[in-house]
Each structure stands twice: as structure tokens, then as C-alpha cells.
Structure 1
Amino acid sequence: MSIRSSISAIVRSRARIACPLAVIAAALVAVPVAQAAPGPKHNPPKSVYLALGDSLAFGYQQAKFNQNLPIENPAVYNTGYVDDFAKDLGSINPRIQTVNLACPGETTDSLLGLTRCPYHPPFDLHTNYTGSQLHAALAILRAHPGRVSPVTVDIGANDVLALVRSCTTATGINLECVASGISATFAHIRANLSTILAKLRRAARHTEIIVLGYYNPLIVSVPGSDAVSAQLNSLVAHTAAQYRARFADPLPVFNPAVNEIPTICKLTLICTPLHDIHASDLGYQKLADLVFAASGY
């Protein structure tokens, strides 16, 4: 049985709704995190590139979603970083296949199967499956030992977004509320990400795993919030290193020290009328470039 047909047998259908983020206020509590260890020697691309994550991995953009209602065809979301990174991989191994399991709105809990991703149903994903995203990923890895590499992961932004939403009232975001909950949210992300990466690494001991961090589109409305995004990226980088995974950090590219607002407006859609926090096509290409650089290929 070919990889494509056997993956189709394993996988079935799940979907998405929503968004990543980067975060929130200068007043937030920081979580101390050790520096990440140097990345391991890379494992060249094999037969399958497997992508896990939320709306960023899906390639979501709000305008495309609005234009394609009521029936969302996932094929219209074809300018995401997974698509661009897959092209890079194709230049190394023209026969590599991409399996994108990403679900917009996915949290670390829903990726583990503790809750469900709100996008699927009602909408289709790039690759439909039953059960959790992690369950589908592990099934593919176990069915094709040694043939799946790389694996990319971006997850956790919606965990932070859930905190922000819980602290938002008719008068705006309550920064004291966010500050009081951010340490617990970070700890939750770290624990769940550790579980996710441990299971992936156990199923694929030599597979190249690359974890994508966070940029901060909310800097346009919450000055000083980059420090919190940097703290979260440090936490994720350290957790990734514990499982021999590489880390790609978008923050210096999307939120540079000089010309930050023009840059974030160019690389995301936050400054458009929809105030969409997702990446622009150019921004998705930049994310793919960062993932490729982190891969060591």
C-alpha cells in the first residue's frame, strides 16, 4: 500500500475556526525559563512532511474565510507557511508528500484530545481525521516508521487567547486579570507541549521536529507586550530542546526593534479593516523561511 493511500485510510476529517496570537501586556508576570540547548544534527527530508498546529499551520486568513462561506474549501488556504516550507522541502526531495493536520482554533488541550477543535466540524481540514490531531499524527508515524520527516508543530497561541478573552469586558482587556492568570497559562502550555513532544519523539526517535514560536500582532494596541511574547518563546524553545526538537523564533523578524509597527502591519493582517492577527502571504513566507533555517537543511 502506498504512503498516500495508507495515510488516507488512517486519516479522516477534522477542522478549525480561528486564530493564533502572540499576546498581551507589559504588566504580565514572567515565568523563569532556562536557555534552550543547541539543536541536534538534522535528519534530511524523508517520504512525508507532517504538519501539526493551529490556524497558522492551516494557513488561515480571515478574508479568505469570509469570502468562502458558507462552504469552506480548505484548498483556498494555500499560501500558509506549511505550503511554502513544503516547496523548500520539494527542492531537496521532489517526491516528498505533505500531510497537514492543522486545525484553526486548536489549543494544547484539544491537540491532545482533552477537548475538541472548534473548526472541525463544521468545516473541513486540509486532511480530515477522526479523534485528536495528535492521535492522527501518531498513527501516521507508527504506520510509516523512518519515513516521516520533518514534523512541524505550532501550538499554544490559542491557550493565551483564551485567557485574554476571559479577561475582556465591554470596556476592554483587564490587564490585571491577564497578569494574574498568565503564569498558570504558561505552565499549562509548557506541560501540554512537553506531553505532545514526548509522544511524537517516542513514536519517531530520529525524525526532525521543528517547533514554531510566536510573533506579536497585538503590539499595535498593547505597547510593551513584546516582552511577554519573548518569555513565551523562551519557554517553548526550552521545552522543544528537551525533546531534541528545533525552534524557529518569529519575534525578531515580525517585531524588530526598529520600524516594528510598519513591519508587523506588513507581515500580518492586523492593520487591515478586519484586524486579522494572522500572517499575510509575505508573513507566511517569512515563517517558512524561519522554519527552513531552523531545520538545518
Structure 2
Amino acid sequence: MARIVSRSRRFSLLVISAALCVSAVVAAPALASAAHHPGQHVEPVRPGSSYLALGDSVSFGYREPANLPTPDYSNAAKFVGFTEDVGAALKLRVANAASQLQYAEVFLARHRDTRLVTLMIGANGGFLCQATTKDSCASELPGVLARVAANVSTTLRTVRQHYRGQIVIVNYYSTDYRSATQNASSQALNTAMDSAAKPYGVTVADGYGTFQRAAAQAGGDTCAAGLLTTLSTGGCGVHPSVGGQSLLALAVEKAIRR
């Protein structure tokens, strides 16, 4: 057990160090673009306005195949993420584009009534790296975080060419708040995203802290607290449950101006 804890701590330090390096690297080049697209004009989000959601499987509302009821992947309407919850709560017209940047450009050019854009992206690269490397991505992590930061910067630079309104960066949760490694990984990912996004006039939805407070009722066990998808094979997936998605929606609603 002592050996495992030691590895966990070393990995956590690597994660934090990598995040700090990435935040320093991405800040300087992004500032030049921000000078052209500062996003200083912010109109309140009003009922009936358009909302563009960008991101990965969390924003889309993806559920694992072993989650019950069995997901119908042929019907996108069956997948409900925090984006749809925000839209329903604030009476917005939601366009959930996931990671389709080209679609986002066209949408923003055509929908001048857009008052909210959210972005949550980067975790998929981390999960893939952890699953395919011998050291669970410890040595590859700086490169992963750098790519995340670059993708966030590219996305927001493009968005700001068409849009001056509110942008909310949605921070990731930890899949297990009892684990120093999982916490450090999530925080490093959030740092990379937030640092790259800061020059573009964004606000941050605290998904990490929101889940942490809710998981406290189960001693920090995100799965036992019912915040993650439950799998028929046992345990939990890594995607938010219906309740978890609702918490992310509340974090977004708290971050925006109305």
C-alpha cells in the first residue's frame, strides 16, 4: 500500500508541474489574439436567445454502452447533457455542436441572437493517454496538456471572430475525490483549459468544486454519491449521471450574467 501511495504522490507532482508549465507557455501567444477579440461587450443571457455548446462527450451527454437503459446511439436526442439542462432552465434555444468547430463558425455567423457559448474539452485525450501508456500518462502528460491548451486557444480564437458575448469554460470534476492522482489530473486539465481561455474574456463554471461538495456526502466517492453513470457490469463509468449533469448545469448557470 505504501508503494502505491508513493507512486500516486509522484504522479500528482508531475501533473501539477506540467500544468504550471502549460499555463506559462499558452499565456503569451494567446494574448496577441485577445487584443483583437477581447470579448469586452457582454450582453445578459435572455430567454429565447440562442446557446451554442462546444465540447466533448460530457457536453454531448454521452453514456457508456453498459449504462442502463442501454443507450440508443442512433438517436442523438436520447443523450441529454448539462447543455440541455441549462437550455431548459433558462429557456434558451440550444445547439449542441460537441467538437464541430466548422459548424460553430457557421452557426455564430447566422445566429446573431446567440448570448451564450460553453466549452468543455480535453478529458478524452487524457483518458486515452492513461489507457495506452505504460506509466498511465505520467511522462506524456505535459504534451497532452499542451495539446488541450492549444485546442482551447484555437477554438476560442475562432469563436471570437464571430461572437462578442458570454463564454463559459466548464471545469472537469474528479472521478474519485478520494484519489490524489485523480484530483491532480482533473485540476491539471482545468488549469490548462482556464489558462488558455483567460485572454478571451471567459468566465469559469466550477464543475470540480460543485462535484466535490456533492461527493462529500459519500466520503469523496464520486461514484457512490451517484454523480457518475452506473454500469451494469459493476461500478461507474467516467461520464456524469443525470444528477451529475444537473450539477454541471447549475455551475454554468451560476457563472453567467442574466
2:93 to 72, 97, 101: 97
TM-score (norm 2): 0.76
Provide the residue aligned with 1:86 in structure 2: 87
1:276–1:43 distance in 2 versus 1, CA, 3 Å: same
Provide the residue aligned with 2:195 in structure 1: 238
CA-atom RMSD, angstroms? Answer: 2.8
Asked whether 1:267 is paired with 2:227, we answer yes
TM-score (norm 1): 0.67
User: How far did 1:264 drift?
Assistant: 6.2
- Identity within the alignment, %: 29
Asked whether 1:163 is paired with 2:164, we answer no
User: SS of the counterpart of 1:179?
Assistant: coil
The amino acid that maps onto 2:181 is G
The amino acid that maps onto 2:120 is D
Write out per-residue CA displacement over residues 47-105 of structure 1, whole angstroms, 9 at most, x where no aligned residue: 31111111111112225587245x62122223x20111002221xxxxx4211112xxx
User: SS of the counterpart of 1:159?
Assistant: helix
Worse-matched range after superposition: 227-236 or 158-167? 227-236
The amino acid that maps onto 1:50 is L
CA contact (8 A) 1:64 1:76 kept: no
User: How far did 1:158 drift?
Assistant: 0.7
Provide the residue aligned with 1:213 in structure 2: 171
- Mapped partners of 2:128, 2:69: distance in 1: 22
Asked whether 1:191 is paired with 2:150, we answer yes
User: How far did 1:141 drift?
Assistant: 0.8
Provide the residue aligned with 2:4 in structure 1: none
Structure with higher helix content: 2
The amino acid that maps onto 1:45 is V
CA contact (8 A) 1:49 1:151 kept: yes
Provide the residue aligned with 2:101 in structure 1: 134
**Unaligned regions of 5+ residues in structure 2, if any?**
1-9, 28-38
Write out per-residue CA displacement over residues 135-190 of structure 1, whole angstroms, 9 at most, x where no aligned residue: 0010011123x31121111111111112112215xxxxx34xx1111011111111
The amino acid that maps onto 1:76 is K
Provide the residue aligned with 2:70 in structure 1: 67
CA contact (8 A) 1:270 1:277 kept: no
1:147 to 88, 99, 113: 113
- Mapped partners of 1:182, 1:149: distance in 2: 35
Provide the residue aligned with 2:246 in structure 1: 285
**Unaligned regions of 5+ residues in structure 1, if any?**
1-23, 91-95, 103-110, 112-132, 169-173
1:155–1:44 distance in 2 versus 1, CA, 3 Å: same
CA contact (8 A) 1:215 1:251 kept: yes
Provide the residue aligned with 1:224 in structure 2: 181
User: SS of the counterpart of 1:200?
Assistant: helix
